[in-house]
Amino acid sequence: MASSTEGSFPPELLAAKKQIRERARSYGLDFFPVVFEMCDYEQMNQVAAYGGFPQRYPHWRFGAEYERLRKQNLYGLGRVYEMVINNDPCYAYLQESNPLVDQKLVIAHVYAHADFFKNNLWFSQTNRKMVDEMANHATRVRRHIEKQGYDTVEKFLDVCLGLEDLIDPHSPFLNRGPMEQKPHQPQRQEPLPKFKAKEYLDKWMNPPEVLEAEARKLRDQHDKMRHVTPAQPTRDLLSYLLHHARLDDWQVDCLTIVREESYYFAPQAMTKVMNEGWASYWHSTLMTKHFVEARDVIDYADHHSGAVHMPPGNFNPYKIGLLLFRDIEDRWNKGQFGKAYEESDNLGEKQSWDKGLGLGREKIFEVRRVYNDVNFIDEFLTPEFIEKHKFYQYGRDPHTGQLRILSRDPQRIKQAVLYQLTNMGRPFIYVADGNYGNRGELFLAHKHNGVDLEIKFAVETLKGIYRLWQRPVHLQAKIDDEMMLFSYGGDQPKQQTIHDDLPKPAHQVA
Ligand SMILES: [Zn+2]
Model confidence over 53-76: pLDDT tens digits? 988 998 888 888 888 777 765 544
**How far apart are the CA of 137 and the centre of ligand 1, in A?**
26
pLDDT of amino acid 206:
61
**How far apart are the CA of 379 and the centre of ligand 1, in A?**
23
For residue 195, how many C-alpha atoms fall within 13 Å in the half-sphere facing its CB? Answer: 12
pLDDT of amino acid 376:
96
Residue 11 has pLDDT above 60, yes or no: yes
pLDDT of amino acid 366:
98
**How far apart are the CA of 26 and the centre of ligand 1, in A?**
21
CA-CA distance, 473 to 441, in Å (whole number)? 6
Residue 297: pLDDT band (50, 70, 90) is very low
The stretch 188-212 carries a mean pLDDT of: 55
**How far apart are the CA of 211 and the centre of ligand 1, in A?**
68
pLDDT of amino acid 174:
61
CA-CA distance, 275 to 116, in Å (whole number)? 6
pTM of this prediction?
0.84
pLDDT of amino acid 402:
85
CA-CA distance, 50 to 91, in Å (whole number)? 13
The stretch 107-127 carries a mean pLDDT of: 96
Residue 203 has pLDDT above 60, yes or no: no
**How far apart are the CA of 82 and the centre of ligand 1, in A?**
6
**How far apart are the CA of 195 and the centre of ligand 1, in A?**
69
Looking at this protein, which amino acid is placed at residue 472?
P
Residue 221: pLDDT band (50, 70, 90) is low
pLDDT of amino acid 223:
59
Please tell me the least confidently modeled range out of 149-158, 185-194, 200-209, 469-478.
Answer: 185-194
Looking at this protein, which amino acid is placed at residue 294?
A
Looking at this protein, which amino acid is placed at residue 259?
R
CA-CA distance, 271 to 116, in Å (whole number)? 10
Q: What are phi and psi of 401, to 5 degrees?
A: 75, 0
pLDDT of amino acid 72:
65
Relative orientation angle of helices 455-469 and 237-244, to the nearest 10 degrees? 20
Other beta carbons less than 10 A from residue 310's beta carbon: 17
**How far apart are the CA of 239 and the centre of ligand 1, in A?**
31
The stretch 139-158 carries a mean pLDDT of: 97
SS3 labels along 146-184:
HHHCHHHHHHHHHHHHHCCCCCCCCHHHCCCCHHHCCCC
Question: Are residues 194 and 245 in contact, defined by beta-carbon separation less than 8 angstroms?
Answer: no
**Residue 184 or residue 167, greater confidence:** 167
pLDDT of amino acid 126:
94
pLDDT of amino acid 224:
56
**Residue 191 or residue 485, greater confidence:** 485
Task: Kindly list the distances between the CA atom of residue 446 and the CA atoms of 245, 451, 471, 490, in Å, as whole numbers in the listed order.
Answer: 20, 11, 20, 21
Please tell me the least confidently modeled range out of 176-185, 269-278, 364-373.
Answer: 176-185
Q: Is 373 exposed, middle or buried (0-12, 13-18, 19+ CB in 10 A)?
A: buried
Average pLDDT, the chain: 84
pLDDT of amino acid 422:
77
**How far apart are the CA of 7 and the centre of ligand 1, in A?**
24
**How far apart are the CA of 391 and the centre of ligand 1, in A?**
22
**How far apart are the CA of 113 and the centre of ligand 1, in A?**
7
**How far apart are the CA of 76 and the centre of ligand 1, in A?**
7
**How far apart are the CA of 279 and the centre of ligand 1, in A?**
6
**How far apart are the CA of 115 and the centre of ligand 1, in A?**
12
Question: Are residues 34 and 53 in contact, defined by beta-carbon separation less than 8 angstroms?
Answer: no
Closest to 76 (Cα-Cα) out of 34, 42, 104, 48:
48
pLDDT of amino acid 296:
52
Helix (H, G, I), strand (E, B) or coil at 299: helix
pLDDT of amino acid 324:
96
For residue 284, how many C-alpha atoms fall within 13 Å in the half-sphere facing its CB? Answer: 21
Question: Are residues 178 and 231 in contact, defined by beta-carbon separation less than 8 angstroms?
Answer: yes
**How far apart are the CA of 46 and the centre of ligand 1, in A?**
18
Residue 401: pLDDT band (50, 70, 90) is confident
Question: Are residues 320 and 310 in contact, defined by beta-carbon separation less than 8 angstroms?
Answer: yes
**Residue ranges covered by each domain of the chain:** 4-120, 130-177+232-268, 310-422, 427-497
Residue 144: pLDDT band (50, 70, 90) is very high
CA-CA distance, 26 to 21, in Å (whole number)? 9
**How far apart are the CA of 477 and the centre of ligand 1, in A?**
37
**How far apart are the CA of 150 and the centre of ligand 1, in A?**
36
**How far apart are the CA of 280 and the centre of ligand 1, in A?**
7
> What is the distance of C-alpha 190 from the center of its chain?
41
Q: What is the largest CA-CA distance in the chain?
A: 103
Residue 227: pLDDT band (50, 70, 90) is low
**How far apart are the CA of 394 and the centre of ligand 1, in A?**
26
Give CA torsion, residues 432, 436, 441, 444, to 10 deg: -20
Bridge partners, 396 (sequence order): 403
CA-CA distance, 413 to 392, in Å (whole number)? 7
Residue 307 has pLDDT above 70, yes or no: no
Residue 226 has pLDDT above 80, yes or no: no
The stretch 149-172 carries a mean pLDDT of: 93
pLDDT of amino acid 191:
42
Please tell me the least confidently modeled range out of 211-225, 278-292, 314-328, 432-446.
Answer: 211-225
**How far apart are the CA of 126 and the centre of ligand 1, in A?**
19
H helix runs in 358-397, sequence order = 360-370, 373-380, 383-388
Task: Kindly list the distances between the CA atom of residue 502 and the CA atoms of 59, 77, 437, 462, 476, in Å, as whole numbers in the listed order.
Answer: 41, 52, 9, 19, 12
CA-CA distance, 459 to 509, in Å (whole number)? 19
Residue 219 has pLDDT above 80, yes or no: no
